[in-house]
Amino acid sequence: MFNKTPHCTDITILTLDRWMVLYIFNISMSFYFFLKLAEKDGVGVKHTRDAGWCGSDCFPLKKGELKTGPGNSDSSALGNAPDAQRVSNGTPASWDPQVLNCSEDASVRTQDWFRRLDQRFHQFVLHRHCRYFPMLINHPEKCADGEVHLLMVVKSVIEQHDRREAVRSTWGREHTVDGRKIKTLFLLGSPTTGKDTKNLQKLIEYEDRLYGDILQWDFMDTFFNLTLKEVNFLKWFDIYCSGVRFIFKGDDDVFVNTHNLLELIGFKLEERKEPQLFVGDTISKAIPIRNRQSKYYIPKELYDKPYPPYVGGGGFLMSSQLARRLFVVSEDLELYPIDDVFLGMCLQKLHLVPEMHPGFRTFGITRRRVSPMNSEPCFYKHLIVVHKLSAQELLRMWSVVHNEDLVCAQRTSM
């Protein structure tokens, strides 16, 4: 895959395309953190300077990092976390899918329906049986020290560095509110073929050295592989983070009002609905889209029934208890190319219906994208999740909404 031997001189800026130069520029803004990190690791600042931009290749990895071993080897760091028991009672809590052998299922090719099937689904169907993949970047220690109240889990791709930066400085900022700890993770696959795989991989490893909030699996980060992100995360969560109370799962281009989200969690705790908590922008009675132009087009050969109720994947809230139940039933279901629908299928297997909440606007505040309402801060102040903002829009909206001078005189309604 990628070269792990320490060598620092092989990245020449000249070979990077413009996007990557921008990326590196962005990263250089974070140089301060880099130095802090280097100090924390006991890596001399001089070494740091010499290292230039070569990312994790320059530093011998600490045990337990990037590897898929049984958690942080420093057992004191495990503290009283629920996972500590899993580790100490002899059950090896580690990521076991080590060897990647996802050869295509050749038997499918001989079938009639496969020959009729739209070409763009061929890859999906041929590799449908491959479910769990090796990890390239892991953080077994993420939930190890003390209870995490809310885990923010964000689907992203390597190239969207600016969105991750915006999320980290707004709703995904790791901090503690009234004793309730919030942590953040980004879920990534590997670069798709045709891209500058080697340099992209180095950049993401470098970014992870700075922030320690990336989980990366060795499958191609394509649209139809999003369901892999779902199932690999559920398994990962079950192993490493099951002591978390709640999970918010969303895209890297949404606005989340963290305060309102915590308030919603508070209400749900009072209602004692934790075991079946799954809240979002629910879509009921949908049928597969047969318009071939659509990104969500599904041919009859693949699925020919109405969809179960499901929530828009842009952002939803679930309890840890339910996430673990979803993991169990997901293993008996064939993968489906649309990840939100796949989760709907898992919920149906549990005989659960996701709860609709008007605060989750994963299709925008109004479905008309040009509507001025979509840029009205007072809506953002009263909602929980809003789709779909650029990194700049997110940063701007976050600061406007959190400005004490923002006056929202009337209760906003539509």
Ligand X SMILES: *[C@@H]1O[C@H](CO)[C@@H](O)[C@H](O)[C@H]1NC(C)=O
Binding site for ligand X (CB under 6 A): 101-103, 123-124, 127, 219-220, 222, 224-225
Question: Which of residues 220 and 373 has its CB atom nearest to ligand X in the complex?
Answer: 220
Residue in the block written with tokens 């590196």: 24
| Residue 190: CB minimum distance to ligand X, A | 7
Question: Which of residues 12 and 101 has its CB atom nearest to ligand X in the complex?
Answer: 101
d(CA 322, CA 275): 6
Report whether 343 contacts 234 (CB < 8 A).
Answer: no
- DSSP letters for 240-264: H-TT-SEEEEEETTEEE-HHHHHHH
Question: Which of residues 33 and 223 has its CB atom nearest to ligand X in the complex?
Answer: 223
d(CA 354, CA 26): 39
Q: Quick check: helix, strand or coil at residue 53?
A: coil
Question: Which of residues 219 and 240 has its CB atom nearest to ligand X in the complex?
Answer: 219
d(CA 149, CA 204): 27
| Residue 258: CB minimum distance to ligand X, A | 33
Hey, what are 109's tokens? 């090719």
Question: Which of residues 123 and 348 has its CB atom nearest to ligand X in the complex?
Answer: 123
Report whether 218 contacts 35 (CB < 8 A).
Answer: no
- Tell me: cis bond preceding 388? Omega within 30 of 0 counts: yes
Amino acid at position 193, single letter: T
Question: Which of residues 80 and 103 has its CB atom nearest to ligand X in the complex?
Answer: 103
| Residue 383: CB minimum distance to ligand X, A | 33
Question: Which of residues 89 and 119 has its CB atom nearest to ligand X in the complex?
Answer: 119
The angle at the Cα of 278, spanning 236 to 396, to the nearest 5 degrees, equals 85
| Residue 302: CB minimum distance to ligand X, A | 12
| Residue 197: CB minimum distance to ligand X, A | 12
Q: What is the 3-state secondary structure (H, E, C) of 91-146?
A: CCCCCCCCCCCCCCCHHHHHCHHHHHCCHHHHHHHHCCCCCCCCEEECCCCCCCCC
| Residue 280: CB minimum distance to ligand X, A | 25
| Residue 223: CB minimum distance to ligand X, A | 8
